[in-house]
A = this chain, B = another copy of it.
Amino acid sequence: MPKIVDHESRKIRIAEATWEVIVEDGLEHATVRKIAKKARLSVGSLRNTFPTQSDLLQYSMQLVSERVRKRIESKRYDGAPLDAVLALFSEFLPADDERKIEMEVWFVFSAKTLTDPKLKTLFKKVYHDMHGLFREVLLKLKSAGCLKENFDLEIEATRLHTLIDGLGIHYLLYPEKMTHEKMMNALQFHLQSICKS
C-alpha cells in the first residue's frame, strides 16, 4: 500500500521554506527550484503537493495570515491592569525572530496585493480582526473607567492600529533608527496619553 506522508505538515514545511526564501531573496526570486532546494525536496515532489507556483504562494500567504489571526484570537483582553494591555499590544510588534519573519513576509505580500487583487481577501480579514481587537480592548478600558473623557473609539482604534503598524514597519525598514526600546516607549507613552492619571 502507499507510502504515507503527512501532507499537512509537509505543506507547512514548504510554506515556511517559502518564507525563508522570500526574506532572503525577495518575492520575485521565490522560484519553485529555490523553494524546493530550501525545503530539501525535489521539484517534482514539491509539485506533487503544490501543483502550481500560484498555489504555493497562495498557501504561504494564507499560512501567515492564519498565524497572525491565531495570535490575535489568543490575545483577548481579560480586564487585567494597564501593564497587561501594554504587553498585549506589544505582541504585535516584531520583537522576536518568528514575528519579525512573519511581519516581513506579511509586508512583502502586502505590497503585492496592490497589483494582485486575488490576495486582498486574506488581508482584509486580518485587518478586520486586528482592528476589532483594538476596539474591544479600548472599549473595555473605557468601561472600566480608565480612559480620559474626550474619547472617540473609532479614532483611537485607528490611532492605535496605525501606530503599531507604523512602528513595526519602521523597525523592519530602518532597524538602525527604530529600536525595540523605542517601539515600546512610544507604545507605552501612547497608552498613558489616553489613560487617566
Given contacts A29-B115, A166-B169, 9 further A-B contacts (CB under 8 A): A25-B115, A123-B174, A131-B177, A155-B189, A158-B178, A158-B186, A166-B166, A193-B193, A193-B194
Pick the contact of A111: B107, B154, B167 (CB < 8 A): B107
Please report the C-alpha to C-alpha distance between residue A107 and residue B114 in the assembled complex, in whole angstroms: 10
| Interface status of A139 (Cβ within 8 A of chain B) | no
Q: Mark out the residues of chain A between 80 and 133 whose CB falls within 8 Å of any chain B CB in the assembled complex.
A: 104, 107-108, 110-116, 123-124, 127, 131
Q: Is A149 an interface residue (CB 8 A)?
A: no
A171-183 interface bits toward B, Cβ cutoff 8 Å, 1 = contact, 0 = none: 0111011100010
How many copies of this chain? Answer: 2
- In the complex, A189→B148 CA distance in Å? 14
B111 touches A186 (CB 8 A): no
A98: min CB distance to chain B, Å: 17
Q: Is A161 an interface residue (CB 8 A)?
A: yes
A38 CB within 8 Å of chain B: no
Give the dominant DSSP class at A's interface: helix
Mark A residues whose CB is within 8 Å of B. Answer: 23-29, 104, 107-108, 110-116, 123-124, 127, 131, 152, 154-155, 158-159, 161-167, 169-170, 172-174, 176-178, 182, 185-186, 189-190, 193-194
A-B contact pairs, 17 of them (CB 8 A): A28-B28, A29-B115, A104-B114, A108-B111, A111-B111, A114-B173, A127-B173, A127-B177, A158-B167, A161-B170, A162-B162, A162-B163, A162-B166, A165-B169, A166-B169, A193-B193, A193-B194
Q: Which of B29, B115, B162, B167 contacts A170 (CB 8 A)?
A: B162
Contacts of A185 in B (CB 8 A): 155
Of all chain B residues, the one with the shortest Cβ separation from A188 is B155
